[in-house]
Amino acid sequence: MTATATQPESVGEGEPAQPRFPNGFVWGAATAAYQIEGAAREDGRGPSIWDTFSRTPGKVYAGHTGDVACDHYHRYADDVAMMADLGLASYRFSVAWARIQQEGTGPVNPRGLDFYDRLVDELCGHGIDPVVTLYHWDLPQTLEDRGGWTNRETAEAFAVYARAVYGRLGDRVRIWTTLNEPWCSAYLGYSSGRHAPGRQDPAAAFAAVHHLMLAHGLGARALREAGAHAVGITLNPTAVFPSDPDRAEDVAAAHLVDGLANRIFLDPLLRGAYPADVLEHVARFSDRSWLRPGDEELINQPVDLLGINYYAPTYVSGRPDAPGRPGEYPGSEGIEFRAPTGAVTDMGWPIEPAGLTRLLERIGRDHPGVPLMITENGAAFPDRPGRDADRVTDSDRISYLDGHLRACHDAITRGVDLRGYFVWSLMDNFEWAEGYRKRFGIVHVDYASQKRVLKDSALWYREVIRRNGIPAPGRGQE
């Protein structure tokens, strides 16, 4: 059944009308294992590609690593109590594959599973629904040494790993997502080199795209055969627009970028076949020998929930002399990616909530019947404690979240089946190649002391959850 948001209504005498969300709408927060756990060498955890990459000179800001991060591995009980204080209904976290199997294959490490067992018990004990992501970019290094996501065996190993994690946690975890943002894993990891493993080979990137999607299919099938209640995947689609919709060259550029960013993932996942124009483009770089008969059918497993991570739209023009972004979008030479023209986050990403509404409408229209969930949305801003060390004022983040929640509400009122929203991120953390200099959290973390402080945005989000709707301006920050 499609969720229906209520129309704006008064929240108090003299206050402006504010949107409310459907009954049962899920409010949560999200994190990722390598970004918060720390304990990089404890209890049998093996090295991941991010352990290696962060130790490679020049790859991560100031040589930062995730060795300690937010020390969540040891502080999880306090962190869960903090989640309960915020009123979270759900918590999305990832499992570190290298904690479960040091080399990505072979014996299962019971001590690694023990940690997630304790975490899930703690969440359930506080009435918080755990949502597990099985892969959030931290591939065991041994698998990368064998080819990583360019190797079909990695996809096959993923299914074995998925079944092992389900075997320990499946009695308490209802919602399982296989992969987080395969676009980033494939293009940033194997083409641009900006993320681990740091390779720069477009042919490898397209092989990685396919094997990641195959891993989803094999993993989803394994989970469902083991008895999983709900299985999905999280993508980071971008709303791609031609800078001038009346200019044919801009429309063609938008179609190509949309193919590389969105349709190469959505179409095999939900339609059972890669788009013909995308495969033709891929042939410029690869013989596509990795695509075997029956693979697209394997990828096209039933999806109970499609996670959407959204941060910003993309505007493009067709310009023969434009350099494109061949690392992120192989073969995009001749395409100009428009620079932001308005407000941006600390990452330099444009702030355009309306792009989220249009993206959700597009996915709902193109793939009807697939329930959607915002599994990440948030922004980095350079906030820090003021004179009062126990307060962090982050009005820019509140404004960002307010606008994007209104965009979600707009999409629901237009018929999109959107079931919930997970803010990124619960707390400040290791922001990949940016190290610790970018802060996305609604909870401030002092990395030296590991002290957590609820930012004003966390107090505001707590009020959102309490009301199941957006507070009037100025409310929820007391």
Residues noted as catalytic = 181, 376
CB 378 within 8 A of CB 428: no
Amino acid at 410: D
Pairwise CA distance, residues 320 & 412, whole Å: 40
Pairwise CA distance, residues 7 & 237, whole Å: 27
Q: Looking at the DSSP assignment, which residues form a beta bridge with residue 177?
A: 133, 232
Q: How many helices (H) and strands (E) does the chain have?
A: 17, 15
> Token pair of 264, please?
């190469």
CB 34 within 8 A of CB 53: no
CB 138 within 8 A of CB 144: no
User: What is the full DSSP assignment across 346-394?
Assistant: TT--B--HHHHHHHHHHHHHHSTT--EEEEE----------SSTT-B--
Residue closest to 215 by CA, chosen among 97, 129, 116, 120: 97
Strands (E), 390-446: 418-424, 443-446
Amino acid at 75: R
Q: Looking at the DSSP assignment, which residues form a beta bridge with residue 401?
A: none
CB 203 within 8 A of CB 284: no
3-state secondary structure of 73: helix
Q: How far is CA 412 from CA 120, 232, 373, 470, in A?
A: 31, 20, 11, 14
Rg (CA), the chain: 21
Where is 228: in which H helix or E strand? none
Pairwise CA distance, residues 19 & 408, whole Å: 10
Amino acid at 163: R
> Token pair of 129, please?
């629904």
